[in-house]
Chains A and B, each alone.
Chain A
């Protein structure tokens, strides 16, 4: 009944890909056009909040390891916080660009959780490699919301934030429960 970890990660990859496409299209058409239909404006925060609920579910089933349980709880909490702030921004309850720092902190904390809960080094296995790669990517990507808070008119920050989710989707889709790092090329791992 409970899906294997790799399947849960592929589902997370699909959600991340959808979020990435939404954010990329908002960058391309501009926020004014994108938010012309209210349901579209609410879609990104709704997907983020829904993903936090799914992460809480996974947290419940992560009883095989305290570190995994804590890491999934951190991701769930970070997604919930970022989604709630984004919802308040769309509703107009919050207006300052400084609120972009909240998704930044969420990315930073999520990246740190990836790095902390992986006990093996980069080349141990596909899973270990991806944990390190995703962790560092999220830590670096936390700079994009920071840039948005400081220079909200520069499109590069929003584009970087959007592409972060596309890259995250690619890395999550590459996850396998047990595999060498580069698959049939056989490089790295057990």
Chain B
């Protein structure tokens, strides 16, 4: 479960390397704000980071707490 976020980030990075023309910083001609911020690889990386830092830590904590509660005498 902890791997879901990092795997998503890695997927976005691999995608960015495979299709570098999607990253506007490398080729800025005729590009607007949407092209800078909302490219597929960047969005995938952003979702992975949100999951990794905002959702996964609390889930791990609660899962460990539940296991401790379950094993308590």
Residues of chain A at the chain B interface (Cβ within 8 Å): 3-4, 7, 10-11, 13-14, 17-18, 21-22, 24-25, 28-29, 32-34, 36-37, 40, 43, 173
CB distance from B68 to the nearest CB of A (A): 12
Contact of A34 among B34, B44, B50, B59 (CB under 8 A): B59
Known contacts: A25-B4, A29-B1. The answer to whether A17 contacts B44 by CB under 8 A is yes
For A7, the chain B residues whose CB sits under 8 A away are 34-35, 38
Return the CB mask of B17-61 against A: 1 if under 8 Å, else 0. 000000000000000001100111001101100110001101100
14 contacts between A and B (CB under 8 A): A3-B38, A7-B35, A10-B40, A11-B43, A13-B43, A17-B44, A17-B47, A18-B50, A21-B4, A21-B8, A34-B62, A36-B62, A37-B62, A40-B58
Q: Is B55 touching A24 in the complex (CB atoms < 8 A)?
A: no
**Quick one: closest A residue to B35, CB to CB?**
A7
Do A21 and B62 form a contact, CB below 8 Å, given A11-B43, A14-B46?
Answer: no
CB distance from A7 to the nearest CB of B (A): 5
Measured CB to CB, the closest approach of chain B to A77, in angstroms, equals: 25
Query: Which A residues lie within 8 Å of B5 (CB)?
Result: 21
Contact (A14, B56) CB under 8 Å given A4-B34, A7-B38 = no
* Cross-chain pair count, CB within 8 angstroms: 64
Taking A7-B34, A10-B39, A25-B55 as contacts, is the C-beta distance between A32 and B66 under 8 angstroms? Answer: yes
- The size of the chain B interface, using a CB distance under 8 A, is 23
Q: Which of B39, B43, B59 contacts A29 (CB 8 A)?
A: B59
Taking the complex as formed, is B14 at the interface, i.e. its CB lies under 8 A from any CB of chain A?
no
Residues of B close to A25: CB separation below 8 A? 1, 4, 51, 55-56, 59
Chain B residue at smallest Cβ distance from A15: B47
Contact B40 A13 (CB under 8 A): yes
Contact of B43 among A10, A28, A32 (CB under 8 A): A10
Instruction: Find the A residue at minimum CB distance from B7.
Output: A21
Partner of B55 from A11, A28, A33, A40 at Cβ < 8 Å: A40
A4 to chain B, nearest CB (A): 7
User: In the bound complex, do residue A14 and residue B44 qualify as a contact, i.e. CB atoms below 8 Å apart?
Assistant: yes
Query: Once the chains bind, are A173 and B66 in contact (CB under 8 Å)?
Result: no
